[in-house]
Structure 1
Amino acid sequence: MDTTPDWVPPEGTWASSAARRRNMQAIRSRDTKPELLIRQLVHASGLRYRVAARPLPGLRRTADMVFRPAKVAVFIDGCYWHGCPEHYVPPKTNAGYWSGKVLGNVARDRDTDRQLANAGWLVLRFWEHEDSDSCARQIATTVRERRRGSGAVR
């Protein structure tokens, strides 16, 4: 009986240990505490939005909050995964892999910003450590201004 796995990860692309792999897999990509708090505050201000939605149908990337009529896409970025200049600490274990992954995320973020801007969208990005009340106020103000300017009712 053959006991070799059907799929073997490419050299250097897997976590340094089984425990680290489990830990990294448990990290949420949506519905984080900062995201939930900001969403709650924006909702309480009377605005409605799509959660974890694609702003552009052909773009395989999702924003944390999408206001379609106003063409506003909101991203609440985690300090580690998106390379916060204030809080990012390079990994000590398997540094090449994880640092490369973060650099790839940052490059993808800039590409997403560019593609959305080219399509007439406004991108709002916040770090997870920013004050939630301030972020929610900025989102609400921006969305309302864009709705007034575009003539959108909702």
Structure 2
Amino acid sequence: MTESWASSEHARLTMRANRSRDTKPELAVRRLVHGMGMRYRVDFPPLPSNRRMRADLVFTRARVAVFVDGCFWHGCPEHHTVARTNAEFWAKKVSGNRTRDERTNAVLSEAGWTVLRFWEHEDPSVAARAIRAAVCGG
């Protein structure tokens, strides 16, 4: 067995338990958007040529990709905290996530997609209204 990247067994188990989809903030936004009568794909690659680039909600006909980003994982300017253990590893991880997010935004925008990003701490109803405006044109 190879050595774990985690600083402890507890840290490893905690990180493995984190969800990449169906988080509480994402579910809250999805519930509201669905309640507005809009239908979407979940955890779906907007570009068939890049299946690793997955958005949380995808409106294929309107070409809108929605991401609900976690404050810790994506480096929220308001709520991101520096890890107390293994700080260098986590700083590099979050920096890489931010770089990947910027690249994803650019690639999708260049392909004609509207990209919407929301932080997990944002009001889901505000996010839902912004999504409806982007998908329905106002």
Secondary structure of residue in 2 paired with 1:66: strand
What amino acid is aligned across from residue 124 of structure 1 in structure 2?
L
Q: Displacement of 1:128 after TM fit? A: 0.3
3-state SS of the aligned residue for 2:116? Answer: strand
Select which of 36, 39, 48 maps to 2:39.
Answer: 48
Q: Pairwise mapping of residues 58-137 of structure 1 onto structure 2 (< 5 A)?
A: 58-59=49-50, 60-137=52-129
Q: Which residue of 2 aligns with 1:16?
A: 7
Q: Deviations over 1:25-66 (max 9, x none)?
A: 101111011100100100010100000000001122110000
Report the Cα offset of residue 99 of structure 1.
Answer: 1.0
For residues 78 and 26 of structure 1, what CA distance do their matches in structure 2 show? 15
Unaligned 5+ residue runs, structure 1?
147-154
Give % identity. 55
Match of 2:132 in 1: 140
Which of the residues 33, 36, 41 maps onto 2:24? 33
What amino acid sits opposite 1:120 in the alignment? G
Gaps of 5+ in 2: none
Distance in 2 of aligned mates of 1:57 and 1:107: 21
Alpha-carbon distance in 2 for matches of 1:58, 1:16: 36
Shift of residue 14, structure 1, vs aligned partner: 0.3
Deviates more, 1:55-64 or 1:77-86: 55-64
**What number of residue pairs does the alignment pair up?**
137
Spell out structure 1 runs of 4+ moving beyond 2 A. none
Distance 1:109 1:142 in 2: 19
- Provide the alpha-carbon RMSD of the alignment: 1.1
Looking at structure 2, the residues matched to 104 and 72 of structure 1 have their Cα atoms a distance apart, in angstroms, of 24
Give me the whole-angstrom Cα distance separating, in 1, the residues matched to 2:19 and 2:82. Answer: 20
Name the CA distance, whole Å, in 1 between partners of 2:137 and 2:33: 15
Question: What is the TM-score when the length of structure 1 is the normalising length?
Answer: 0.86
Q: Which has the larger radius of gyration?
A: 1
Q: TM (normalized to structure 2)?
A: 0.96
AA paired with 1:74? Answer: V
Q: Which has the higher helix share?
A: 2
Q: How many angstroms does 1:97 deviate by?
A: 0.7
